[in-house]
């Protein structure tokens, strides 16, 4: 049986987008309540009956959340241009080594805008 599981996280952070045109609202410093969905996928072992413990996903994401929560994203190495797309890839690159079943990262920057990233 193949399944996808999702665990959601949130953090508060500020950013500004240096590649946007002068005068664009996103070029100015502003903040978001970011929501991140970490999605894992795979075949459920018949003996276990579950793919992965949700607690393992939480534990893998904890150091990433600590790096991002209540920080200016532009000041974090690798996030100098912290668009939702770049943030999704940044999280993926740090999470994939410790979470091999990682299938997708979804960044919700606002209630109506999201970026889905599935690796390279």
Instruction: Out of 35, 65, 104, 109, pick the active-site residue.
Output: 109
Instruction: Out of 26, 35, 65, 115, pick the active-site residue.
Output: 26
Residue 115 designated active-site: no
Instruction: Out of 70, 80, 85, 116, pick the active-site residue.
Output: 70
| CA 43/CA 53 separation, integer angstroms | 14
52 in Cβ contact with 77 (< 8 Å): no
Residue 109 designated active-site: yes
Kindly list the catalytic residues.
26, 70, 109
């Amino acid at each position: 049986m193949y399944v996808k599981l999702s665990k959601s996280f949130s953090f508060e952070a500020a950013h500004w987008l240096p590649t946007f045109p002068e005068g664009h609202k996103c070029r100015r410093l502003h903040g978001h309540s970011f929501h991140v969905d970490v999605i894992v996928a795979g075949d459920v072992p018949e003996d276990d009956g579950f793919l992965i413990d949700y607690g393992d996903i939480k534990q893998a994401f904890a150091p990433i959340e600590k790096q991002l929560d209540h920080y200016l994203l532009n000041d974090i190495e690798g996030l100098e241009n912290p668009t939702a797309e770049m943030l999704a890839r940044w999280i993926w690159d740090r999470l994939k080594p410790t979470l091999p079943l990682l299938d997708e990262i979804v960044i919700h920057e606002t209630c109506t805008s999201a970026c889905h990233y599935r690796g390279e």
